[in-house]
Structure formats: structure tokens, C-alpha cells
Structure 1
């Protein structure tokens, strides 16, 4: 990987883009990891003394926020764990934070590849799936927008697609100068008050998922608008079924 590639990749680490976009994201505290602590993430039997020291350093970061917190590392969140499936990743202690990171195959792989340098602590927020979107930013402008959670059709979105698109386009115009690169997939959340908050910033192209836009091989010069899961197809009239 060239130095320029490394610099671009590093730009997607939350600790690198967050300082420039603090007012447009959730509050966050970062705990830098020592080399032995990074190794403990991937070790079959991590050194108890190393883990104990890390837990002591994690506790003050967790105390910055009341209630449950959400834990991630550089560019990876432990979304592939049972705890995320059952509790959306909410943790209440340094021990549970460490446990969810250790249980995540994505986190362990990133650590094994030398891509983990810190733990990010944010307040846990139970977000409404219908208000999460992925924005596809090409040359610093909004080119595409997709519903993030493709779990079902949200009927309430249907009449607000133009509104969400316009708000998102204006938002990208305001913040594009602070994004790590001109081409990126930006995950956002609309609060109940209408404010847009950045959840994550992802590299352009595979393996980042294009979601409802289906493929990266498309004409990005033509804006897609806000694309959501369509309503269920209803068959009406006489239906003859033969076996």
C-alpha cells in the first residue's frame, strides 16, 4: 500500500475525521491502545494483567456519558456479535465493552491486520431505523441516497423522500470540505428535531455495501434521489393456481 493510500485509508478512522466534524456527529471519547492491548484483542488467551490495565483506562471514558454506551474501534463496529443483535450493542461497563470487542470477528480481524489503534466510546442511542440513511458522495456532492436498514418498507418515508434528499444534499454541501475524501459513503441519522448527525464515513466502492442502489457500477453523474425499500407487491383480481 502506498503512502497516499495509507493516508486516505487513515482518513476513514473515526478519530481522524471526528475532530473536524464534531458538531455534526455524536459525542465521543477515544482511548488509545498500547501495542500489548492491541495484541490482547486477537490473542486466544490474553494477558490478564494487560486486560486489567486496559479496563482501568476504559472506565473514565465510559463515565463521560450516563446510561449505556456504544463501543467501536477505528473503522469497525462490533455489529456481528450476539450483543449487537439483542441489545444493539449497548454496554454498561468496561468489562462488557471489552467482551463485545473480543467477540467481534470483524474487530479481531482488523486488529490482526494492524488497523486498530484506539477504542471509541459514544453514548448509546436507540435510533429509529427509518431515519438512518447512507449518502453516496461523489466529487464532494450528493449523488445517491439509500435507506440504511433494508428490513422492510417504511410507509412513512414515502411522502418525505424529496424532503430527506434536499436536507441531505444541503448537509453535504456544508460539510464536504471536511470529509476525508471527495468520494465516500456517509452514514447519517436524522434526529427527531431534524438535525443530521454523521454515524460513520466509509470508503467509496466495494466492500462498502451500495444498499438500495444495488451496484457501484452505475452513472453517478445522475443523482438517484432517496431510494427506499418498495412496498410489498399486492396481487389483485382473480388468481388461478394449478399444481
Structure 2
């Protein structure tokens, strides 16, 4: 894995080239003061002061001294100087304008990642945001974004930096009617599309069984016409969404291996496919309720997980792979 392969997967790098094939996105260059705010894990959790009086958590306590249980005696060890919440007026106004131009609701992501692990803290339990402070809440609460901020190049054999020189915030138009079963991850190695699988592996979608042949041709065609000659890396993954009218929209690029989840594949299986002479494209879906997998969306990047022989993750993944093989073998599955 090289730094240039990681860098090509940053949304501010690939989106301008693939704008017509993707969903509408507005990208903001983040000031370093805001990056410092996201990384600051000392002291209390403070949301920025909104110059528009927008509050991501309207029922929260703004002044701890107003709480009956919060009492600090003068001269005590706990006495400290008041802490001021940060304020980013220019960035807030820019983001407000972008949200309005994108229809009033967006979902945010940094250079590589979205704050999926912090959706629980949002009042909507999703990444849907309508204000700057809602975006700040999700970003500040996310542990997985630390990979973008501090560890993006850890898997590179030519690592020369711990983080990119600049960070960007991508605001993507929110579509409330997107169906998770129509989102797929595609695996490309040496410029060849060798694997496709559904991204939402925690559910079984019967409709995918009948549509699998048509989806395979549709995604292969999209790769050939839109991606294959336009993305410069040799090996990578890309995520797509198939719209009801059978159009394909590009959602994201991710590096090959490293912190990218292989989902229904393993990286070892994908590497082995390259040794096959015909390089047949394999499309994997969850084919029954027995094949459902628990979510692998953790705060720890995939390449940080302990998958060594005998570890908890090793046992879990082996059991899941065995079930997937049983599904693929009707005789064994019916035994």
C-alpha cells in the first residue's frame, strides 16, 4: 500500500473527476482550528457556540452551574477557570449556505470516512444533518474518524507523514428514500473487477436473489464505462448505489486492504482470485437469514482488529465464512 493510493481515495481528490456519476456534494476546506477542536479529548465535551443559535442538542445543559448537582466550593481542588466553548462563525455560515443549496439536509464525511459510529448520538439516529452544530456533534463524537485524523497512512510501506496536510469536510445531499439493499462494494485488483457484494451484511434481502444477474451486468458496465480508465490506482474498492430506474451512482472509493472492510469476502480470498486464469467476477449476497452477519462497523479500523488465529474476531469470521460456504452449496445446506 502506497501513500498515493490512499490519497486518491480522498473525496476531494476523486469527486471533481466523477461528479457526473456521483451524488451532489459540496466540499469545504477545514481550518486547522476546527481540526484541533475535533482532536481535543481533554476537558469537557463542548459543542461550538452557534452564531445562528442552532443547537444540535436543544435539551442539553448549557451552563453546568445551573445544575443542582453541580456545586464547586471556593478554594476546593475542583475549582477551575471557566471554559469557553469554541466558535467558528465563518465556517458555520459557509456550511449553512451549502446545506441550503443541497436541499436542507446533508450527511457529512471527512477526507475518507463518515462518522457512522456516532449516529446514535444524533436525535434522528442517523447521519442526517440540517445545521453546523449537528455536523460538529457527529464529527466530535466519532472515534472512527481518528483514523482519518491521525492514522490514515499507517498501512503504507512508504509512510512519510501521519496525516494529510489539509482536511476537508464533504457535505453530501441527503436522500431519505435510499434502500440499503441497493448499495454495493466492488473490488478491483490490477484494474480488473473481481468481486461485488452487498454493503449491508446485517440483513437478508430476498429481492437481491432474483436481481443478481441483472445487477452483475449493470455494475460491470458501470465499471467499464465510468471507472476503469478514470481511476488511477491499480487496486482499490468503490461503493455504488443502484437507483430504482437502474442507474448507478458512485458513492466512494476506498483503498485495497488496510482499513477497508472486505464484508462478505476476506482479503486472502480476493488475493487468491488473482491467481486464477479467468478472473471470474464473483457477486456475493446474504442468501438467507442464516447468513446474516453482525455489523463490523467498529471504532477500530479493520486493519487494527486482532484477527490472529484463536482470537475472538478470528473465530467469528471463520464461523461466518463457513456459513457463507454452506449457503453456496445447496447439498450441504440442506443436509
Which moves more between the two structures, 78-87 or 197-206? 78-87
Aligned residue number for residue 93 of structure 1: 131
Q: 2:169 aligns with which of 105, 119, 143?
A: 119
2:185 touches 2:196 (CA, 8 Å); kept in 1?
Answer: yes
- Alpha carbons of 1:8 and 1:77: their partners in 2 closer, same or farther (altered >3 Å)? same
Per-residue CA shift, 1:115-150, capped at 9, x if unaligned?
A: 461100111123201101101112222111001101
Residue 180 of structure 1: how far off its partner (Å) = 3.8
Aligned residue number for residue 154 of structure 1: 205
Aligned residue number for residue 238 of structure 1: none
Q: 1:168 aligns with which of 188, 202, 219?
A: 219
2:101 counterpart SS class? coil
Work out the CA distance in 1 between the residues paired with 2:281 and 2:121: 35
Work out the CA distance in 1 between the residues paired with 2:147 and 2:233: 25
- Alpha carbons of 1:84 and 1:179: their partners in 2 closer, same or farther (altered >3 Å)? farther
- Count of equivalent residues: 230
Radius of gyration: which is bigger? 2
2:172 counterpart SS class? strand
2:122 touches 2:134 (CA, 8 Å); kept in 1?
Answer: no
Work out the CA distance in 2 between the residues paired with 1:100 and 1:173: 36
Residue 110 of structure 1: how far off its partner (Å) = 2.3
- Alpha carbons of 1:84 and 1:15: their partners in 2 closer, same or farther (altered >3 Å)? farther
Which TM-score applies when normalising by structure 2? 0.63
Aligned residue number for residue 102 of structure 2: 65
Which TM-score applies when normalising by structure 1? 0.86
- Over the aligned positions, Cα root-mean-square deviation in angstroms equals 2.2
Residue 84 of structure 1: how far off its partner (Å) = 6.8
Instruction: Extract unaligned runs of 5+ from structure 2.
Output: 47-83, 152-162, 291-335
Instruction: Extract unaligned runs of 5+ from structure 1.
Output: 234-243
1:31 counterpart SS class? strand
Aligned residue number for residue 37 of structure 2: 40
Aligned residue number for residue 237 of structure 1: none
Residue 33 of structure 1: how far off its partner (Å) = 1.1
1:131 touches 1:189 (CA, 8 Å); kept in 2?
Answer: yes
Aligned residue number for residue 137 of structure 1: 188
Residue 198 of structure 1: how far off its partner (Å) = 1.1
1:187-226 alignment to 2 at 5 Å?
Answer: 187-217=239-269, 218-220=272-274, 221=276, 222-226=279-283
Residue 151 of structure 1: how far off its partner (Å) = 1.6
